[in-house]
């Protein structure tokens, strides 16, 4: 404990001395550049300074081993670091699929060269990753994927199409599931491979969403030559790697809703701010008792979920890898988030029906789009119906 308190004091003073003043209190939504990568644009230049300072210390990925660019911290020390960053209202220096998905997967399944090449670049925010899993005929039934990889000497030749590839247009590398053997049980002929998006034959077409934004792409592979050395784990054994990565993804999706930054003491929640503005207060309470009741339920659900995620994170200290239970977090976390957005829209009434132009405040228009974006939460990372099937089979042990 004494060591941890010493670490806390040193961390607090180091952060205070090194974190640029201009980034304190920034929201994640302000942080375009913080996904890193070759195409990153830092609209707030000090975010790049912050990234470099933290990467130098290994604190973009505090618990990863030092030899791969991490901080080598214990889970307890990493928690202290998070707490001290929250206290100073410091945003994360780097976010993205490198840190949350492919990085942890490479630590588990990658060979030494792959770890050295990719993990260090991820920690420094040099390379941005995207996920090439879904195909037009393979979403929930992912193992039906058809993108072909045919061996040619030391390379594979890739042909096929991926869909819903989030941020493919801004990414540098993609981790893909490809079919290397069509003649065996479908799960047994899949390989997990890493592809540089600059390789000739890779092309990307953005897809526009209901929210007006376009984070998705279709990604095409036409005779793309990719070294066999880029296979993670073994040829035809990609399904094992794919499932491990999905567990990390589901934990990440759940963590976004359950493990977010603690609200500063005394700061009102977004729900209360909205209710105050659109419903009004009477005798120090939200005027409408039905809305008040729904808000109390939402706050309790959010808080309980956050504590459960925290409990699971503490259990992970013993080295526990996320398994089928990450499906539970994914279902519940996304449902709580979607219900919360619906409640915000209900509180705002007709003010939540704007799309563009005058007549609505910017934050009102943004909330409408955020609400529409939240509809995708139950699908991304594997749909909630599929998660319920996984829970039934692998957690509860129910028959197929």
Q: What is the C-alpha to C-alpha distance for residues 247 and 351, in angstroms, rounded to an integer?
A: 38
Instruction: Based on the residue annotation, tell me whether 249 is a catalytic residue of this protein.
Output: yes
Q: Give residue 174's Cα distance to chain centre.
A: 15
Query: Which of 249, 273, 299, 364 is labelled catalytic?
Result: 249
Which member of 100, 105, 165, 251 binds ligand FAD (CB under 6 A)? 165
Across 254-325, the runs of DSSP E, i.e. the strands, are 281-282, 285-286
How many CB atoms sit inside 10 A of residue 1's CB? 6
The answer to the question of residue 63 lying near ligand FAD (CB under 6 A) is no
Q: Report yes or no: 284 and 268 within 8 Å, Cβ to Cβ.
A: no
The window from 23-31, 150-158, 315-323, 377-385 that contacts ligand FAD (CB under 6 A) reads 377-385
The answer to the question of residue 174 lying near ligand FAD (CB under 6 A) is no
Which member of 50, 59, 68, 133 binds ligand FAD (CB under 6 A)? 133
Q: Report yes or no: 152 and 223 within 8 Å, Cβ to Cβ.
A: no
Q: How far is the CB of 149 from ligand FAD (least distance, A)?
A: 16
The residues near 149 (Cβ < 8 Å, ≥ 6 apart) are: 156, 157, 158, 178, 179, 180, 191, 193, 226
**Which spans in 97-184 are helix H?**
97, 103-109, 112-114, 120-123
Q: How far is the CB of 168 from ligand FAD (least distance, A)?
A: 8
Q: How far is the CB of 64 from ligand FAD (least distance, A)?
A: 22
The window from 164-172, 185-193, 321-329, 337-345 that contacts ligand FAD (CB under 6 A) reads 164-172
Q: How far is the CB of 392 from ligand FAD (least distance, A)?
A: 10
The window from 80-88, 145-153, 182-190, 384-392 that contacts ligand FAD (CB under 6 A) reads 384-392
The answer to the question of residue 146 lying near ligand FAD (CB under 6 A) is no
Q: How far is the CB of 182 from ligand FAD (least distance, A)?
A: 20
For the chain, what is the largest distance between any 2 Cα atoms, rounded to a whole number of angstroms? 77
Q: How far is the CB of 369 from ligand FAD (least distance, A)?
A: 13
Q: What is the C-alpha to C-alpha distance for residues 355 and 39, in angstroms, rounded to an integer?
A: 29
Backbone phi, psi, residue 310, to 5°: -65, -40
Q: 357 to 376, contacts with ligand FAD by CB under 6 A? A: 376
Element holding 158 (H helix, E strand): strand 155-162
User: Could you tell me the two tokens for 314?
Assistant: 């503490």
The window from 7-15, 75-83, 300-308, 378-386 that contacts ligand FAD (CB under 6 A) reads 378-386
The answer to the question of residue 247 lying near ligand FAD (CB under 6 A) is no
Size of the site for ligand FAD (CB under 6 A): 19
Element holding 273 (H helix, E strand): helix 270-278
- Site residues (vs ligand FAD, CB under 6 A): 130-134, 139-140, 162, 164-166, 376, 379-380, 382-383, 385-386, 389
Q: Which residues are catalytic?
A: 249
């Amino acid at each position: 404990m004494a060591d941890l308190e010493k670490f806390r004091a040193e961390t607090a003073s180091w952060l205070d001395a090194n974190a640029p003043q201009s980034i304190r209190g920034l929201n994640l939504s302000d942080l375009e550049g913080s996904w890193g990568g070759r195409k990153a644009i830092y609209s707030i230049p000090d975010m790049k300074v912050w990234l470099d300072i933290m990467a130098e210390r290994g604190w973009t990925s505090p618990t990863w081993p030092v030899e791969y660019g991490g901080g080598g911290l214990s889970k307890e020390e990493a928690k202290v670091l998070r707490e001290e960053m929250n206290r100073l209202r410091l945003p994360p220096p780097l976010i993205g699929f490198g840190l949350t998905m492919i990085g942890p997967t490479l630590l588990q399944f990658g060979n030494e060269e792959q770890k050295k090449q990719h993990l260090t670049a991820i920690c420094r925010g040099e390379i941005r990753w995207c996920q090439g899993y879904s195909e037009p005929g393979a979403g929930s039934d992912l193992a039906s994927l058809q993108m072909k990889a045919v061996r040619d000497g030391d390379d594979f030749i890739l042909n096929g199409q991926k869909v819903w590839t989030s941020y493919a247009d801004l990414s540098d590398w993609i981790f893909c599931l490809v079919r290397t053997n069509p003649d065996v049980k479908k799960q047994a002929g899949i390989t997990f491979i890493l592809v540089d998006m600059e390789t000739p034959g890779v092309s990307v077409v953005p897809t526009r969403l209901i929210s007006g934004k376009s984070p998705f792409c279709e990604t095409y592979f036409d005779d793309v030559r990719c070294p066999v050395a880029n296979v993670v784990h073994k040829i035809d054994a990609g399904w094992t790697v794919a499932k491990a990565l999905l567990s990390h993804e589901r934990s990440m999706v759940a963590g976004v809703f359950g493990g977010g930054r603690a609200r500063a003491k005394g700061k009102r929640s977004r729900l209360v701010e909205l209710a105050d503005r659109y419903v009004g207060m009477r005798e120090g309470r939200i005027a409408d008792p039905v809305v008040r009741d729904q808000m109390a339920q939402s706050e309790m659900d959010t808080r309980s979920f956050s504590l459960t995620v925290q409990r699971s994170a503490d259990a992970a200290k013993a080295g526990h890898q996320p398994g089928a239970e990450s499906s539970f977090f994914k279902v519940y976390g996304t449902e709580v988030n979607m219900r919360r957005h619906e409640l915000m829209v209900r509180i705002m009434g007709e003010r939540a029906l704007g799309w563009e132009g005058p007549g609505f405040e910017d934050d009102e228009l943004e909330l409408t789009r955020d609400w529409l974006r939240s509809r995708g939460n139950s699908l991304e990372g594997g749909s909630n119906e599929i998660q319920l099937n996984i829970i039934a089979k692998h957690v509860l042990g129910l028959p197929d």
